Amino acid sequence: MTLEFVAPQVEFAGVSKIYARGHVVLSALDLTIAKGEFVTFLGPSGCGKSTVLKLISGLTPPNSGTIHVDGMTPKNARETVSYIFQEATLLPWRTVRRNVSLGLELDGVNGDRRREKTASLLDLVGLGAVGDAYPRELSGGMKMRVSIARALATNPRLLLMDEPFAALDEMTRDRLNEELLRLREEQKWTAVFVTHSVAEAVFLSTRIVVLTANPGRVHSVIPIGLPFPRTAGLRTSSEFGTLVLQISRSLREATLQ
Amino acid sequence: MKRRLPPIANAVCVFAALLLLWQSVLWIFSVPSFMLPSPWAVAKAVVKRFPALMTSLSITAEEAGGGLIASVIVGVAIALVFAQSRWVRRMLYPYTILLQTVPIVAIAPLILMWVGAGASSVALIAFIISLAPIIANTTQGLVSVDENLIHLFLMHNASSRQLLFKLRLPYAIPSLFVGIRIASGISVIGAITGELYAASSRVGVGGLGYSIQYASAQLQTDYLFALVLAATVLGFAFFFIVMFLEWYFLHRWHESARTLETE
């Protein structure tokens, strides 16, 4: 099992990204993310956390350096990658069911296969009962579940998440964190996650990358050795508390730099 | 819970009060009937000349409706071109504003001269006046799609066809309806304006605008009022048909459509 996890899935080699007016968002980033990892990027705003995801997905090209996903260019690897955005970004004119099946539809998966897959995912995220509802009838947490189901429907090997739970209340966020890990146990995708919340990062990750801003550089990389499966009780343990403190300190250093 | 009159009852009360006011003005100032007929005289004119009134109404309805439908088809097509690039919009958008600001009263005689008097030229005038709000609103809807939704489609390597039909067009439908709602009212005004200039296509009968001019020349003020009433009813009917269609297509998913009963 560990052997399988060693192969690199995402490789950054000297990647820089400069936006308009010379603002250096990322500077000479070298980083390898192995299969099966759950890597979270933490950092002050403007440090290029979200840009990392945009680069991996090929939605924006780097100014220098190279990025490989499964040994391919980001655009060629898109088939195996799913992206979960800050908001649920559902199509309001489609029912929950048809939102979940959107990715499959765009990929040209045939009707029966699509229906079957959609139904099983709705059950997986606990939305089996609201398949025919429209997004506006759902709470923020339920919308995010739909978004997760849509992302997982295409069997991704790599899941990119850009502060997906930032807009939710803390209890909903904690619940969804736990479910996300449960889904990961079942489906074994690799995850690259971006958040502002240190506790969320510690709970989810196998490794945390703290970035500095202006220019965006890696400040520190901290492995999180807490064993899986992780459950709600972990949050009150002393190891968890220690890690949160340690990372909060790194984050403060990164912000002050 | 307080018991309240349904909105329609309120409107009826206001209507009755207005009629009363109208009638009292007649009594107090003893206005001659060729200047201001009584509500009763107008009602009698409606009943007596009902078939002619309905003919005029249906002619105008066809002209305005035809112009409106054409403006939706052409307007959406133009909006699709506008949505292609900022460059195209910058180049062509000023002409949309031109279309909106040109006084229709001034160009109506020109159009009648070029196309010839008749229902089709009147429909053309209704079409021209309806076009600008459709283009402006639909374009707005097409270009304001959430950037992350576009990213989502790009992640699945969606074709431009899929982007258009599965994302941009459905996204723009609420805006399109805002445009149609504005256009529905002015298409009727456009048709009547056109008719004021146009000669009748048939002897003695024509659209509302034609009949208004005829009745006014003949000092048939009671019938003139009946025609104005019919024109108002037509405008209302257009508006409500559009409102109904909007509700029908959007009520299941769109926030705005839930306000049907309050508008």
How far away is chain A from the Cα of B76, in angstroms, using its nearest Cα?
A: 19
Q: What is the mean pLDDT of residues B9-23?
A: 90
Dist CA A9 CA A68 (whole Å): 8
Q: Is the pLDDT of residue A115 over 80?
A: yes
Helix ranges (H only) for chain A are 2-6, 49-57, 96-100, 102-106, 111-124, 140-152, 170-187, 198-204, 238-256
How many folded domains does chain B comprise? 1
**Quick one: A216 exposed, middle or buried, by C-beta within 10 A (0-12, 13-18, 19+)?**
buried
Overall residue count recorded for chain B in this entry: 263
Confidence of residue B1 (pLDDT cuts 50, 70, 90): very low
3 state SS of A110? coil
Instruction: State whether B254 and A92 contact (CB < 8 Å).
Output: yes
From A81, A82, A106, residue closest to B153, measured CB to CB: A106
What is the set of domains in chain A, with CATH numbers?
A: 2-89+163-256 (3.40.50.300)
* B contact residues 223-252, partner A, Cβ 8 Å cutoff: 252
Per residue in B141-186, pLDDT tens? 999 999 999 999 999 999 988 999 999 999 999 999 999 999 999 9
Instruction: State whether B253 and A92 contact (CB < 8 Å).
Output: yes
Confidence of residue B223 (pLDDT cuts 50, 70, 90): very high
From A78, A89, A154, residue closest to B146, measured CB to CB: A89
B20: in domain: no
Lowest mean pLDDT among A34-38, B145-149, B204-208: B204-208
Specify the residue for token string 């007016």: A21
B189 Cβ contact partners less than 8 Å away, ≥ 6 residues apart: B129, B235
Q: Is the pLDDT of residue B130 over 80?
A: yes
What pLDDT score was predicted for residue A7?
A: 63
A217-223 and A207-212 strand pairing: antiparallel
Q: Is the pLDDT of residue A2 over 70?
A: no
Q: Is the pLDDT of residue A34 over 60?
A: yes
Say whether residue B176 is in contact with chain A using an 8 A CB cutoff.
no
Q: ∠B228-B234-B240 over CA atoms, to 5°?
A: 140
Per residue in A176-234, pLDDT tens? 999 999 999 988 999 999 998 999 999 999 999 999 887 888 999 999 989 888 988 89
Helices B221-250 + B208-217 axis angle, to 10? 160
Task: Please list every residue in chain B whose beta carbon sits closer than 8 Å to the beta carbon of residue A86.
Answer: 148
Q: What is the mean pLDDT of residues A98-116?
A: 92
Q: Which two tokens stand for residue B89?
A: 């919009």
* B contact residues 135-164, partner A, Cβ 8 Å cutoff: 146, 148-149, 151-158, 162
Instruction: State whether B155 and A93 contact (CB < 8 Å).
Output: no
Phi-psi region of A238 (alpha: psi -120 to 50; beta: other; left: phi over 0): alpha
What pLDDT score was predicted for residue B205?
A: 60
Q: What is the mean pLDDT of residues B48-54?
A: 93
Dist CA B135 CA A130 (whole Å): 37
Q: Is the pLDDT of residue B261 over 50?
A: no
Say whether residue B253 is in contact with chain A using an 8 A CB cutoff.
yes
B146: in domain: yes
Task: Please list every residue in chain B whose beta carbon sits closer than 8 Å to the beta carbon of residue A81.
Answer: 155
Lowest mean pLDDT among A168-172, B89-93, B242-246, B254-258: B254-258
Say which residue, B186 or B33, is predicted with more confidence: B186
Q: What are phi and psi of A111, to 5 degrees?
A: -50, -50
Residue of B nearest to A56 (CA): B155
Say whether residue B3 is in contact with chain A using an 8 A CB cutoff.
no
What pLDDT score was predicted for residue B2?
A: 53
Which residues of A make CB contacts under 8 Å with B?
57, 59, 78-79, 81-83, 85-87, 89, 91-94, 102-103, 105-107, 134-136, 154
Q: What is the mean pLDDT of residues A20-47?
A: 87
What pLDDT score was predicted for residue A228?
A: 84
Instruction: State whether B148 and A59 contact (CB < 8 Å).
Output: no
Helices B169-197 + B221-250 axis angle, to 10? 170
Contact B222, B41 (CB under 8 A): yes
Dist CA A154 CA B59 (whole Å): 56
From B148, B154, B167, residue closest to A85, measured CB to CB: B148
pLDDT exceeding 90 applies to what percent of chain A? 67
- Which residue, among B64, B104, B118, has the nearest Cα to B241 in the 3D structure? B64
What pLDDT score was predicted for residue B203?
A: 43
Per residue in A120-160, pLDDT tens? 999 988 898 999 999 999 999 999 999 999 999 999 999 99
B44: in domain: yes
Residue of A nearest to B169 (CA): A93
B11: in domain: no
Task: Please list every residue in chain A whose beta carbon sits closer than 8 Å to the beta carbon of residue B162.
Answer: 106
Dist CA A73 CA A77 (whole Å): 6
Task: Please list every residue in chain A whose beta carbon sits closer than 8 Å to the beta carbon of residue B254.
Answer: 92-93, 136
B5: in domain: no
Per residue in B53-111, pLDDT tens? 999 999 999 999 999 999 999 999 999 999 888 888 888 888 888 888 888 888 888 88
Half-sphere exposure of A234 (CA within 13 A, CB side): 22
Of the residues B253, B255, B256, B259, the best mutation for testing chain A's interface (the one with the most A CB atoms within 10 Å of its CB) is: B253
Q: What are phi and psi of A109, to 5 degrees?
A: -70, 135
Task: Please list every residue in chain A whose beta carbon sits closer than 8 Å to the beta carbon of residue B145.
Answer: none
Confidence of residue B3 (pLDDT cuts 50, 70, 90): low
Give the CATH number for residue B130: 1.10.3720.10
Instruction: State whether A135 and B156 contact (CB < 8 Å).
Output: no
3 state SS of A152? helix
Residue of B nearest to A58 (CA): B155
Of the residues A53, A91, A143, the best mutation for testing chain B's interface (the one with the most B CB atoms within 10 Å of its CB) is: A91
B12: in domain: no
B27: in domain: no
Dist CA A220 CA A239 (whole Å): 19
| Host domain of residue B213 | 38-262
